[in-house]
Amino acid sequence: MVKGPAETVVRGACPLDCPDTCGWTVTVRDGTAVALRGDRDHPFTRGALCVKVNNYLEHTTAPDRLLHPLRRVGRKGEGRFERITWDEALNEIAERLTGVIDEHGGESIWPYYGTGTMGYVQGLGGGAFARFWNVLGASRHDPYGICSKAGGTGLTYTVGTSGGMDPEEIQHARLIMLWGTNTLTSGHHLWKFVQAAQREGAHVVAIDPIRTRTAEQADEHIAPIPGTDAALALGLLHVVVEMGAQDREYLAAHTVGWDAFREEIRQCPPARVAAITGLPEATIVALGERLARTRPTAIRATMGLQRHAGGGMALRTLACIPGVTGDWGRVGGGLTYSTGAWFPLNTAAVERDDLRARPARTLLMTRLAEGLLDRSDPPVHALFVIAANPAASVADQNRVRRGLAREDLFTVVMEQFPTETVDYADIVLPSTMQTEHADLHAGWGHFYLSWNEPAVAPPGECLPTTETLRRLAERMKLDEPCIADTDEEMGRQLLDGSGIDFDELRARGWARIERPRPFSDGFPTPSGKLEFTSERAAADGHGLLPGFTPSAEVDDPGLAARFPLVLIAGASHYFLNTVFGNDPRQQRRAGGPRIRLHPTDAAARGISDGQPVRIFNDRGEFTATAEITDRVRPGVVATTKGHWPKLLGGDGVNATVDERDTDMGGGAVFHDNRVQVA
Ligand SMILES: Nc1nc2c(c(=O)[nH]1)N[C@H]1C(S)=C(S)[C@@H](COP(=O)(O)OP(=O)(O)OC[C@H]3O[C@@H](n4cnc5c(=O)[nH]c(N)nc54)[C@H](O)[C@@H]3O)O[C@H]1N2
Ligand SMILES: Nc1nc2c(c(=O)[nH]1)N[C@H]1C(S)=C(S)[C@@H](COP(=O)(O)OP(=O)(O)OC[C@H]3O[C@@H](n4cnc5c(=O)[nH]c(N)nc54)[C@H](O)[C@@H]3O)O[C@H]1N2
Ligand SMILES: [Mo]
């Protein structure tokens, strides 16, 4: 699109791991990006960005941006480097990787990618990265457990997929339950659909142990003990069934196992659920009655409530609610978690599993410490990190650091900024940012695909992941032709068979995926129906029926005696995971790490507002400023992810989090964590 003589407007999309995947436009004058705005034409994000990404252009020119390849000269973790050329960097990497493969086999390489970019060409989709490592026979990497996999797995037992209702339909709901989700912070574009429903008289309930800014804007806030949501769901259904408000027609036509599940519900009267959840019985009864009366009811759940030992089961049970009320069958009813599963992308064509000579093990993003310190089948000898900052974002930070500090480990980190993780690299490669490379994105909070067209040339010597791997493949004499594919070719491959035209997508910037309303064409389960009883879950060891699986640490009385406070560390309003943690403007807005304590917990410890405190358990500790507030329940304390420990001169919140799996999908347990504060 031409604007003035020397001014063009280039369409793109935000690459960050937020459900909204905003459409944006970049105004370029004489080769320089001069403005970045929300794309007004994008049907879901409608021209608005967020308090973080509004300043994305400034972030691309930040003084600490990595612009050249570097080689470590100091100790691992120290962050001292010398500048080298791309030739030197690629030669050294090629030589070291070849050596590792010859000596220990391909599986001793761990290609480690995170959520820095959600792009299917450059990043999380695996994309070009996957095909390169498939050719080399490296270990496989699973990044999903750190974020959403527990809940996704639980949902899949009940409804066959983690993709639920179209979030836009929330505007038609009359009861909206924002369940373990902080919409106004972690994906605010949904809010206008919530407000549209409110204008039509909808009642909005936030279910969150913390009175977040979202809970504050809701009509009602219910604060259960963390990790007890499945019990609450069963208690609400108890009220519905007592009132005879279950949808008998829907149950008969579209579900299996209702009789058995109804028995499970009978075991959970509100009085019992009140004792488990720490909620007044009357609150449970009142919400249950409202649920019984209000059609359609929409549940918005995201990742917060599944970062617990019972997180998979929690989502499995929540997905049953619209089955009992029949709301899955009504426009504006159902549950939405992550829409990602609905996108008809041909990821296989880009990842190219067929290039593997033999099967390989899968290493979990969440288990970096174990992978580096304990695995011997074979040990990991080379780690290649892109779009991840595990030294800050992964559980058990102290052990992660010990693993990264191993002298016999060869580590490459491809990054935009000198993160905590970069400090442990042998070789650092400077990465392009979103305005400088091409990519394809699928939202996970709506039904729109985006194409991100590069707007400007990269600064310094920055390269995209794709180009880096093409050049590395040349050095390593990999003759597999597809490795030379261009970014555009991979974009086209991803759309192959999707019914979406690449050139149209590119011209408009976004495209809605065409599909029937979920689940008007049946549930993608083995029975084709919603499965209250799931043979698959039973076979996987999770029981035939949904139910309530207690948290591990929250529910451990022995541990509670030593560490009486449950710590929740959710999304920060001002950072996106650890992205922007180095941005002075965002640091100022965030105001340093804080820990929210209830007045009774503060008083019991003699802690006053604004005081620096230590938050610790057997795994580690970090420091934060005490904020005394009734936004948290007694016994619950809250902080956020996102701060860079290295800039604060200590450890971060993840020093206290255990490297332990949730019940399903190998998820991380960030909010199932007991600490003491002093
Ligand atoms: N501004 C901003 N936006 C983000 C991110 C960010 O870092 N900053 N991160 C992005 C990413 S990677 C993701 S995965 C999403 C995550 O988005 P969310 O799912 O919103 O993630 P959290 O902030 O972890 O948790 C949401 C809420 O769940 C609550 N919670 C914790 N435990 C429980 C529980 O047991 N039961 C209930 N009912 N509630 C509980 C927390 O108090 C929190 O307010 O957001 C994305 N958006
Ligand atoms: N305590 C606690 N910890 C958590 C969570 C929590 O709720 N509580 N949430 C977890 C969740 S949901 C997630 S998703 C993870 C996220 O954990 P990570 O996936 O490690 O994400 P980030 O920490 O944001 O690090 C991403 C890095 O990628 C870089 N990057 C961005 N774009 C690109 C690119 O195009 N190329 C390259 N090479 N690099 C790029 C950024 O500069 C940034 O340093 O954190 C988890 N950690
Ligand atoms: Mo995430």
For atom 18 of ligand 2, the residue with the nearest CA is 388
| Cβ atoms < 10 Å from Cβ of 58 | 11
Pocket test for ligand 2, best of 208, 212, 389 (most atoms within 8 A of CB): 389
Does pLDDT of 514 surpass 70?
yes
Q: Which ligand is nearest to the CA of 141?
A: 2
For atom 39 of ligand 1, the residue with the nearest CA is 180
- What average pLDDT does this structure show over 113-138? 90
Q: Which ligand is nearest to the CA of 662?
A: 1
SS (H, E, C) 177-218: EEECCCHHHHCHHHHHHHHHHHHCCCEEEEECCECCHHHHHC
Say how many Å lie between the CA of residue 147 and the centre of ligand 3. Answer: 4
* Cβ of 410 below 6 Å from ligand 1: no
Angle at the Cα of 264 from the Cα atoms of 260 and 270, rounded to 5 degrees: 150
| Residue-wise pLDDT tens digits, 621-671 | 999 999 999 999 999 999 999 999 999 989 999 999 999 999 999 999 999
Could you give all domains of the chain from N- to C-terminal order, each with its CATH number? 2-60 (3.30.200.210), 70-146+350-512 (3.40.50.740), 154-340 (3.40.228.10), 557-677 (2.40.40.20)
Does pLDDT of 1 surpass 70?
no
* Cβ of 150 below 6 Å from ligand 2: no
Determine what percent of the chain is predicted with pLDDT higher than 70.
99
> Given the DSSP bridges, would you call strands 32-38 and 220-222 parallel, antiparallel or unpaired?
unpaired
Return d(Cα 371, Cα 406) in angstroms, integer. Answer: 12
Determine what percent of the chain is predicted with pLDDT higher than 90.
98
Which H or E run contains 142? strand 140-142
For atom 7 of ligand 2, the residue with the nearest CA is 570
Pocket test for ligand 1, best of 20, 299, 305 (most atoms within 8 A of CB): 305
- What average pLDDT does this structure show over 185-196? 98
Q: Return the pLDDT at 259.
A: 98
Pocket test for ligand 2, best of 385, 393, 419, 421 (most atoms within 8 A of CB): 393
Say how many Å lie between the CA of residue 325 and the centre of ligand 2. Answer: 38
Say how many Å lie between the CA of residue 614 and the centre of ligand 2. Answer: 25
| Residue-wise pLDDT tens digits, 19-45 | 999 999 999 999 999 999 999 999 999
Q: Return the pLDDT at 127.
A: 74
Does pLDDT of 125 surpass 80?
no
Does pLDDT of 5 surpass 70?
no
| Residue-wise pLDDT tens digits, 241-282 | 999 999 999 999 999 999 999 999 999 999 999 999 999 999
Say how many Å lie between the CA of residue 574 and the centre of ligand 2. Answer: 14
Return d(Cα 120, Cα 534) in angstroms, integer. Answer: 32
Say how many Å lie between the CA of residue 573 and the centre of ligand 1. Answer: 10
Does pLDDT of 560 surpass 70?
yes
| Residue-wise pLDDT tens digits, 379-401 | 999 999 999 999 999 999 999 99
> Given the DSSP bridges, would you call strands 175-179 and 203-207 parallel, antiparallel or unpaired?
parallel
**SS3 label, residue 339:** helix
Predicted TM-score (pTM) of this structure = 0.97
The ligand 1 atom at the shortest distance from the C-alpha of residue 210 is 42
* Cβ of 388 below 6 Å from ligand 2: yes
Does pLDDT of 2 surpass 70?
no
Say how many Å lie between the CA of residue 667 and the centre of ligand 2. Answer: 15
* Cβ of 13 below 6 Å from ligand 1: no
For atom 4 of ligand 2, the residue with the nearest CA is 393
The ligand 2 atom at the shortest distance from the C-alpha of residue 657 is 1
Q: Return the pLDDT at 124.
A: 74
Does pLDDT of 3 surpass 90?
no
- What average pLDDT does this structure show over 514-541? 97
* Cβ of 185 below 6 Å from ligand 1: yes
Does pLDDT of 57 surpass 70?
yes
- Is residue 127 within 8 Å of 351, Cβ to Cβ? yes
* Cβ of 303 below 6 Å from ligand 1: yes
Say how many Å lie between the CA of residue 402 and the centre of ligand 2. Answer: 20
Pocket test for ligand 1, best of 186, 205, 211, 228 (most atoms within 8 A of CB): 186
Say how many Å lie between the CA of residue 301 and the centre of ligand 1. Answer: 9
For atom 21 of ligand 1, the residue with the nearest CA is 304
- What average pLDDT does this structure show over 79-96? 98
- What average pLDDT does this structure show over 184-201? 98
* Cβ of 325 below 6 Å from ligand 1: no
Spell out the residues 6+ positions from residue 8 whose beta carbon is closer than 8 angstroms to its own: 1, 2, 27, 28
Confidence of residue 223 (pLDDT cuts 50, 70, 90): very high
> What are the Cα distances from residue 135, in Å, to 126, 352, 605?
14, 9, 57
